[in-house]
Amino acid sequence: MADNSEEQFTPLNPTLLSADLARQYKAEMAEVLGPDLMAEVDWRHGDPNFEKINSDYYSIWNRQQGGHKKYSYFAVYDRLFSSFRHKRATMLELGVYKDASLKSWQEFLGEGSTVVGVDINPDCHKYDAAEAGRHVRIGNQFDSEFLASLGSEFGPFDIVLDDGSHKTDHQIASFNSLFARHVAPGGVYFIEDTNTSLWPRYRQGGKDIFDLIRALGLATHIFYADHYYSEYRREEHPKTFRTLAAAKLIEEVRIIDAGVAICKAGADHYPPLVDLR
C-alpha cells in the first residue's frame, strides 16, 4: 500500500464529503434524534487562547517541531491517558510522521516509559532511539502478522494510538489485530480521525466506522441478550456465565469528536450482579 505522508497532508476540500453520504447519515440520525438536536445551528470557531489550552500533553507537544495534530485531541489525551503517567507505561503509536509525537508521549508518560512507533514510510526508521526507550518499526498497520510481532516484542501495550493511514478498513483491522491479545488489562485503545469514514477517499472496505461503533456498543450490552437478571442475583454468586470475549474485555467505549476510545477491562471487571433488598 503506497501511503506516504505527503499524500496524507494534501488539504482536503470539504466538497469531498459526498452529498449523498451526508444526506443518508442525517436521515438515519433523524430517525432516532428529535428536532432539537437535528436543528441546523452555527458553530463558530472562536478565538481560543492557545496558551490556556488545558492539557499537559499540549504544553509538551508545543515545544516540539514536526507534529500534526488536531487541537481537540489535546484535552482528550489528558483525560484518557493521565492515569498512565509515571508508571513505566508502554505505548504503541500507529503513524510516526516525524518524531515529535513519540518524544512528546515519552515525556508525558515519564521516566521508564516505552514508546513504540509504527510507520509505513521507511524514512521513519531514523527516529528509532532504542537506548532512549523510543522504538520505530517499519510496516503496514493493515498487516496483522506485523502487528502481532510488535505485540510479542513490546506488548502488552497500556496505550495504543491509531494515528496512521486513517483508512476505515485499516482502523478496524488494526483494532482487531491488537485489542484482545496485545492491549494490557486496563489499557486504552484510541482511534483518531474516525471522521475519515465520511470522506470517500479514506473510506475503504465494506464497513464504516459507525459499524465498529455499533458493534462496540453492542459488546457492552450483549451479555443481556443471553442472561436475564434473575440469573445474576447476589444469591447466585459466585457463578460463571458464558458470554462473548467482547463483553468481558470491553469495559467502556468513549466516542468523541472524530475519535473512539475503547477501554479494556481490568482485573476487577466482573459479570453483572444485582442485589434485591
Ligand X SMILES: C[S@@+](CC[C@H](N)C(=O)[O-])C[C@H]1O[C@@H](n2cnc3c(N)ncnc32)[C@H](O)[C@@H]1O
User: What character string, x for contact with ligand X (CB under 6 A) and - otherwise, covers 179-198?
Assistant: --------------------
Segment holding 109, helix H or strand E:
helix 100-109
Nearer to ligand X, 3 or 208 (CB): 3
According to the binding rule CB under 6 A, does residue 91 interact with ligand X? no
Nearer to ligand X, 76 or 247 (CB): 76
According to the binding rule CB under 6 A, does residue 177 interact with ligand X? no
User: Which of 155, 164, 187, 259: binder of ligand X (CB under 6 A)?
Assistant: 164
According to the binding rule CB under 6 A, does residue 165 interact with ligand X? yes
Q: Which segment (118-126, 127-135, 203-211, 259-267) binds ligand X by CB under 6 A? A: 118-126
Q: In what order do the strands lie in the sheet with 114-119?
A: 134-138, 114-119, 90-94, 157-162, 183-192, 259-264, 250-256
Local structure of residue 222 (DSSP, 8 states): T
96: CB partners within 8 A, 6+ apart: 102, 117, 118, 119, 121, 124, 127, 136
C-alpha cell at 132: 532512549
User: Which of 8, 59, 149, 220: binder of ligand X (CB under 6 A)?
Assistant: 8
Q: Is 211 exposed, middle or buried (0-12, 13-18, 19+ CB in 10 A)?
A: middle
Of 135, 166, 170, 182, the active-site residue reads 166
Q: Is 143 exposed, middle or buried (0-12, 13-18, 19+ CB in 10 A)?
A: middle
Q: Are 78 and 56 in contact (CB under 8 A)?
A: yes
Q: Which segment (3-11, 41-49, 84-92, 261-269) binds ligand X by CB under 6 A? A: 3-11
Nearer to ligand X, 90 or 101 (CB): 101
Q: Which segment (47-55, 88-96, 194-202, 205-213) binds ligand X by CB under 6 A? A: 88-96
Give the relative orientation of helices 209-219 and 168-182 as an angle to the nearest 10 degrees: 30
Nearer to ligand X, 100 or 219 (CB): 100
Q: Is 261 exposed, middle or buried (0-12, 13-18, 19+ CB in 10 A)?
A: buried
According to the binding rule CB under 6 A, does residue 118 interact with ligand X? yes
According to the binding rule CB under 6 A, does residue 259 interact with ligand X? no
Nearer to ligand X, 115 or 219 (CB): 115
Q: Are 138 and 164 in contact (CB under 8 A)?
A: no
According to the binding rule CB under 6 A, does residue 59 interact with ligand X? no
E strand map for the chain: 90-94, 114-119, 134-138, 157-162, 183-192, 250-256, 259-264
Q: Which segment (31-39, 67-75, 148-156, 240-248) binds ligand X by CB under 6 A? A: 67-75
Q: Are 162 and 94 in contact (CB under 8 A)?
A: yes
Q: Are 93 and 161 in contact (CB under 8 A)?
A: yes
Cβ 126 to ligand X shortest distance, Å: 13
Nearer to ligand X, 1 or 274 (CB): 1
Q: Is 166 designated active site?
A: yes
Binding positions for ligand X, rule: CB under 6 A = 1, 3-5, 8, 67-69, 93-97, 100-101, 118-121, 140-142, 163-165, 170
Q: Which residues are catalytic?
A: 166
